Amino acid sequence: MLYYLFDWLDRAFDFPGAGVFHYISFRAAMSVITSLIIMLIFGRPFIKWLRKKQIGETVRDLKLEGQKEKEGTPTMGGLLILAGIVIPTILFAKLDNIYVLIMLGTTLWLGLIGFIDDYIKVFRKHKEGLRGKYKVIGQVALGIVVALLIMYHPDINTWGTKTTIPFVKSNELDYAKIITWMGDWANNWVWLVYVLIVILVVTATSNGANLTDGIDGLATGTSAIIGSTFAILAWVSGNVIFSNYLNIMYLPNIGELAIFITAFVGATLGFLWYNTNPAEIFMGDTGSLSIGGIIAVFALLIRKELLIPIVCGIFLMESLSVIIQTTGCKLYRRRHKLAPGQLVPVEKRPFLMTPLHHHYQKKGTKEQKIVVRFYLVGILLAIVSIVTLKLR
């Protein structure tokens, strides 16, 4: 909104300083600053309001160290994160940009699903919240819409179904090549292949972020690192000079996403002010589902979704630990013919507890140490992801 106001002032009255709003770098800086201000000003009153309404977290496993103290901590802080993302984006981005509109729609849609989940947990007192299948349906629906827009919207479909392969010299992959064995049918069915890939990316990343949100500050700080990485990748992809120099896809108008992703970074960092150990507020599924989905769709729009296993390596480790634990326990139960309800001995499980951060908690590692070490791994993965721009 402010972009259009100052653009009009610049054209109509040659208003001093109004032209600076034409620079993406300036608007991105204003976006992150505004987001941080929103979080720091409204964070404390929002926490007090949640406490007054007794909107608190129910901790499932009180046996973990420090979990008893967390019982009743205000939750649904994801609403604050969403405000910190949406408001600066509306203020500083071009709202006729299809990329920005897709990201705003993604944020609000997944925020709604997460809010319903938190509402059922907090107000209906159902610990499981929204049934898993309904969350997946929402994620699948988002994946379908995003995939079709990327493929067929005239302002996006510059590169068709192409993406970028990390560490490869000629680093463009067209998903249509996956089904070249179908001959003439390939062109008719490439849309389905792409839709399935997008659904997989959205659901996997969103659920990965959700699993990571288990100890104070872990998901929030990790997401800020990931968001900063994608901000750099979006900026160079939308700059014709840098994209030509780095020999990467030039995506016209994608640079506008820098305003959105800097708001995302500001919101996650601002939330970390209150979410660091000991947490004064939890984001709930309103935040964690949205954060993962935002990262996934953003990566898809800048054609860097194959980088997700690297830049989102923390999410991947958390998800894999759950998969390995579940599979390992099932195989043990089948091999030893355990009776229904009989638990697999702890020493026979792949991990003491999952997701992975709880495994280290069970081993006696302090929360703060786990979080900082995960941050360090996340920063290392972010550096590797940026290096892929040149190292091929």
Q: What is the mean pLDDT of residues 156-173?
A: 84
pLDDT above 60 for 39: yes
Beta bridge partners of 74: 56
Q: What are the pLDDT digits (tens) for 355-391?
A: 999 999 999 999 999 999 999 999 999 999 999 988 8
pLDDT above 90 for 2: no
Assessment of whether the complete model's pTM goes beyond 0.85: yes
DSSP string, 304-350: -GGGHHHHTHHHHHHHHHHHHHHHHHHHHHHHHTPPTTPPPPGGGSS
pLDDT above 80 for 182: no
Least confident window among 66-75, 147-156, 193-202? 66-75
- Closest alpha carbon to 23 in 7, 8, 11, 12: 7
pLDDT value at residue 65: 60
> CA-CA distance, 16 to 372, in Å (whole number)?
45
Please report, for the chain, the start and end positions of each structural domain, with discontinuous segments joined by +.
2-308
Q: What are the pLDDT digits (tens) for 169-181?
A: 777 888 888 877 7
Which is more confidently placed, 390 or 187? 390
Q: How many helices (H) and strands (E) does the chain have?
A: 15, 2
| Cα angle 271-276-281, degrees, rounded to a multiple of 5 | 60
- Joined tokens for residue 139: 């994620």
Which is more confidently placed, 1 or 304? 304
238-242: which pairs have CB atoms within 8 A and are 24 or more residues apart?
238/24
- Split at pLDDT 50, 70, 90, the class of 323 is very high
How many other CB atoms are found less than 10 A from the CB of residue 334? 9
Q: What secondary structure letter does DSSP report for 158? A: T
Positive or negative: CA dihedral 182, 186, 189, 190: positive
Which is more confidently placed, 312 or 177? 312
> CA-CA distance, 72 to 119, in Å (whole number)?
15
Burial 165-187 (b: 16+ CB within 10 A, else e): ebeeeebebebbeebeeeeeeee
- Split at pLDDT 50, 70, 90, the class of 67 is low
Q: How many CA atoms lie within 13 A of 351 on its CB side?
A: 21
pLDDT above 90 for 197: yes
